[in-house]
Amino acid sequence: MSASHEAIEQALASIGPVVGQRPRGAARVLGVHLEGPFISPDRLGAQPNAARLGALSELASLRGLAPIRVLTLAPELTGHLDFIRDLRRVGILPQIGHSNGRYEEGVAALAAGAKGFTHLFNAMSELHHRQPGIVGAALAHAEYAEIIPDLLHVHPGAIQVARRAIPKLFCVTDATAGAGMPDGTYRLGSQTVSKCPNGVRLADGTLAGSVLTMDQALRNLVAIGIPLDEAARRISTYPADYLSEWDRGRLQPGAYADIVVLSPDLELMQIFIEGEAIAPLGRVHTAN
């Protein structure tokens, strides 16, 4: 998330060593999504106001610490259409988000090489029939976009709208340190957030990420009427496709055996990570 350059360096220095290797009993980290700091100060959401203009020069030291796969930016900021082109040239996927841009600026960003949208509907200019905003650009033109299906960030009806408009709408949890933890206070970057029954919020009530897990995301999609096979693609295949991870997110010969086994009521029973069976209660053994 948005922070000083030094704080982002520290975060990436911690992530770097675990990318490219997979500890036993753990998932593989594929890289970093920088959700800032190159965002609009008018659409911070729960991020601290460390927003600034984007430049490849700032990324030079960061890219040596950990692989940056995705970067969220506000396309309306000065120089950001050229920045989008620069990012694509060095292999980073630009995503539109935390933006107060106009519809036309969103369309121009897609034409320049932006590929997706960060947590659609949240922290971006809304759809109005005379000012379609960034949401309108996504619904009219996007192939890919993220959405947070905790049924708090986005109404089920809006999820259905996006699902009909965006072929490869895919799910993200936007989960914070409070995910899976008791109600209480947690850190979100430089800020303190509170987990309570109605989500994770700043002191002023602003939503500050979620406590969603991906298995619950699947159940939520099915609960609002999305067929199970489609819901599974939206939490696995489409995000893998977005990152060009063609050997993940699908059950086929030659792909990684990343598999979850669910009960008939979609409760988690077993996990396989690259063929390693992760047993309940943290017990680990290797699948035959």
Q: Are 70 and 137 within one domain?
A: yes
Half-sphere exposure of 279 (CA within 13 A, CB side): 5
For residue 35, the model assigns a pLDDT of 96
Q: Are 218 and 104 within one domain?
A: yes
Report CA torsion sign: 50, 92, 163, 147: negative
Residue 139 has pLDDT above 70, yes or no: yes
The Cα 288–Cα 270 span in angstroms is: 15
Q: Are 171 and 187 within one domain?
A: no
Summarised one tens digit per residue, pLDDT across range 29-54 is: 999 999 999 999 999 998 989 999 99
Calculate what percentage of the chain has a pLDDT beyond 70: 96
Say how far residue 57 (Cα) sits from the centre of its chain.
Answer: 24
Backbone torsions φ then ψ of 184, nearest 5 degrees? 155, -165
Q: Are 242 and 128 within one domain?
A: yes
For residue 235, give the DSSP letter: I
For residue 279, the model assigns a pLDDT of 66
Q: Which domain holds residue 269?
A: 257-288
Distances (CA, A) of 158 to 151, 198, 234: 10, 19, 15
The Cα 141–Cα 107 span in angstroms is: 7
Domain count along the chain: 3
Catalytic residue among 174, 183, 241, 265: 174
Q: Reply yes or no on whether 247 is catalytic.
A: no
Q: Are 85 and 113 within one domain?
A: yes
Residues sharing a CB contact under 8 Å with residue 5, sequence separation 6 or more, in sequence order: 58
Place of tokens 């919020």: 201
Looking at residues 159-165, what average pLDDT do you find?
98
Q: Are 185 and 58 within one domain?
A: no
Q: Are 84 and 126 within one domain?
A: yes
Summarised one tens digit per residue, pLDDT across range 52-99 is: 999 999 999 899 999 999 999 999 999 999 999 999 999 999 999 999
From the list 96, 34, 99, 42, the residue with the least C-alpha distance to 68 is: 34
For residue 12, the model assigns a pLDDT of 96
Q: Are 118 and 57 within one domain?
A: yes
Summarised one tens digit per residue, pLDDT across range 199-253 is: 898 888 888 889 999 999 999 999 999 999 999 999 999 999 999 999 999 999 9
For residue 284, the model assigns a pLDDT of 45
The mean of the pLDDT values for the chain is 93
Residue 288 has pLDDT above 70, yes or no: no
Q: Are 172 and 160 within one domain?
A: yes
For residue 196, the model assigns a pLDDT of 84
Q: Are 147 and 286 within one domain?
A: no
Q: Are 168 and 220 within one domain?
A: yes
Query: The CATH number of the domain where 219 resides is what?
Result: 3.20.20.140
Token output for 35 = 């959700």
For residue 287, the model assigns a pLDDT of 45
pTM of the model: 0.93
Structure confidence at residue 281 as a pLDDT band (50, 70, 90): very low
Q: Are 190 and 124 within one domain?
A: no
